[in-house]
Chain A
């Protein structure tokens, strides 16, 4: 029966998830032992073991990927497996979720893991002045009830079929109840590795826990060391001279040098990370769908991928749903660069020509200003005079994004469609950067709500496919490209054939999945 389990079917039958997580082990035996040294950018002196504040790869890899566990885990192929939860089950309206926890799990300080820890860890994210990035996720839980030490029942305010997926969020790590403060100071989790030393913004070392519940199916190193190297060149040097085994975010300009080194290999995956240009649809001229269409056809997307990403990406279709999502609509037609259509839609809007300001800064993403200038050039002759306004990088997110009519932006994407839409495309949410709501498409908003509670995956797929089509045709956000995650690894470390594309560095889980070659 295991062959028949799709990732969608898995959602409904939580019991099967337990079976899968038991059997879904790597087929080839990995070498145990040795050490992984990684040079990672994205570190700060303000880093801590508080997963509520994590936002960049260094701490995500250290906490979520190494020292702490979540209830569920997104596997490299995108399917959902249990981590601290063994199985889960939903009521028919997707409102009540029963999670069965793994028994016999211990924190690094010896405390046994149980239902109380789950409830306490989730409660960390709510409360009036909580600054947790996972606050909206946890706030949707109306009630948490401990049934036994190994069972928790969550009652949601409204049905959400993606709830188990949300529990894999890297912000929602499991801490020991009653000693959360201590756990945050020292880094006490249930993960495969226990902290040996941690110097914020400098270095993290962790040792493999003996008798871990994941057994010998994961976590093959004796020790992992993450070194904070924010400087691109220093990171490349460290890899080239063999002082680290792997680095994240390689510099495309010097990629050829890495490729020429036979001891190294490059990993590249297209995930959900996308670069976007949101337009405020509640403001003129973007309130007119014809103007938005004229802009959509005026962008040469392939040129942006080739020149801004230097080929390390894929063209976007104005939807934020990417290849790492389960209901990614790869059947719909790709928006093409068509200046004539652009001109046509501008006519439809009753205009011969129009002046539009496009605000950009490299704070949005590396190369945003170049991208804006390429768009300006590609719209030559369509009647759209794009005026590129270069904004200061400091304060870009507070002064430009969400405030200027048309600007550059970036999203790392989300594991599920609903999560992405609920973050930036649902009417009224704070990060809705195109002010996309009922005035633009009542159909989209109603589909969003019904798909959220829909447990039948075929119906759900149809709904999400339609929503992506609506965004492509009428959406207020230009999404010309998806940026790949590109990292490099020394051949003395082996990694599975399929690596995760949800996040950099094999979903930040290289300590768990990679091994000494």
Chain B
């Protein structure tokens, strides 16, 4: 087990380094975009004086390097700062305090996690079961249909799948709402119904990858001598696969599932916009639009951290699922 702990610590350290690099890249990238917060928030009313006032209020007149280290310093003490929009609002008001980035992101992130979990609850069982069945009945009509269907849904852009689902499930047959405007204090069942269309869209997008990996990993093992042995013992094909092949195929499957879960958190931007789902993706888009760097940075760090942590989890789980890695000689 000491081995696993070592890997975890090593990975976490590398993860922190990755986050640091990500934050530098994002900071530079957002600053390279034309226009800054002051100009964009003022729009047509961007007179030089007004722009100057806002820049001074927000510290945008300082150099890039001192702004970055100011932000990094706050970050290391656990303070992600306050969004420019909020700061600007407070200087208008003459007060201070107010909503910090963390408070702003927390409810949005919870919504995104909810959507990711609903999607995972639908997509993972479907992907694994269909994958197993496709391996079992490989090269049959079922296998072909499953492959064609999942491959064509992953190959279409998300917004297209979203509109196709809206057309069939909301416009032509009004079963589900096309508007996923969930809010705090909503009943769980309402929340679930409202989140169903975006969850189905995401399911279509992520299923193919997981299902095909399940199928491939199992088929790969079916040629192994111990599977042949199991068959010769007279076991049913289903039992051979579930009992003997699947446990050994778990490592790659878990890997792909973790990658797709990370995608559910970071890749939902388009889906959230189409369904007006108030998640972190929409907040991210809004913030990039007005160059609200503290919020953009925080969102990116969350995205990056989700990838790093889920990848780490995948690695640990594949180590634990493989006795040879669990007990290295």
Contact = CB atoms under 8 A, between A and B. Distances in A.
Interface in A181-216: 181, 184, 197, 199, 201-203
Contact of B179 (A46, A52, A227): A227
A46 B41 contact: yes
Nearest to B37: A46
A234 interface: yes
A74 B50 CA distance: 29
A50 B93 contact: yes
A166 to B, nearest CB: 17
**Range class of the A interface residue count:** 35 or more
Interface stretch (B19-27, B143-151, B169-177, B220-228): B169-177
A403 B88 CA distance: 27
A398 B276 contact: no
B183 A203 contact: yes
Given A44-B286, A397-B39, A231 B181 contact: no
Contacts of A131: 50, 53-54, 92
A147 B89 CA distance: 33
Interface string B177-208: 11101011100000000000000000000000
B281 interface: no
A353 interface: no
B292 A46 contact: yes
A238 interface: yes
Nearest to B84: A46
A50 B89 contact: yes
B43 interface: yes
A63 to B, nearest CB: 14
A231 B178 contact: no
A375 to B, nearest CB: 21
A131 B38 CA distance: 11
B46 interface: yes
A392 B94 CA distance: 35
B34 A395 contact: yes
Contacts of A55: 43, 45
B33 interface: yes
A44 B290 contact: yes
Nearest to A402: B47
A229 interface: yes
B273 A244 contact: no
* Residue among A203, A241, A392 with most chain B CB within 10 A: A241
Contacts of B83: 45-46
* Residue among A131, A133, A229, A243 with most chain B CB within 10 A: A131
B294 interface: no
A234 B274 contact: yes
A234 B180 CA distance: 10
Contacts of A497: none
Contacts of B179: 39, 227, 229, 234, 237-238, 241, 243-244
Contacts of A228: 276
A205 B170 CA distance: 24
A237 B171 CA distance: 8
A277 B56 CA distance: 33
A181 B92 CA distance: 10
A48 B47 contact: no
B39 A398 contact: yes
A34 interface: no
Interface in A211-240: 227-231, 233-234, 237-238, 240
A425 interface: no
Nearest to A244: B179
Interface in B263-303: 273-276, 278, 282-283, 286-287, 290, 292, 295
Given A233-B163, A238-B178, A401 B44 contact: yes
A500 B77 CA distance: 53
Contact of B92 (A52, A231, A233): A52
A129 interface: yes
B234 interface: no
A394 B171 contact: no
B51 interface: yes
B85 A46 contact: yes
Interface in B45-61: 45-47, 50-51, 53-54
A248 to B, nearest CB: 15
Nearest to B286: A45
A38 B183 CA distance: 16
A243 B177 contact: yes
B171 A241 contact: yes
A435 to B, nearest CB: 15
B276 A234 contact: yes
Contact of B46 (A233, A241, A398): A398
B73 interface: no
A237 B35 contact: no
B2 interface: no
8 contacts: A46-B89, A50-B92, A201-B278, A227-B181, A231-B276, A395-B34, A395-B35, A398-B35
Which 3 A/B pairs are nearest by Cβ-Cβ distance?
A46-B85, A394-B34, A395-B35
Given A229-B179, A234-B273, A237-B170, 6 more contacts: A53-B92, A184-B93, A243-B179, A398-B35, A398-B46, A431-B47
Interface of A: 39, 44-46, 48, 50, 52-53, 55, 129, 131, 133, 181, 184, 197, 199, 201-203, 227-231, 233-234, 237-238, 240-244, 392, 394-395, 397-398, 401, 430-431
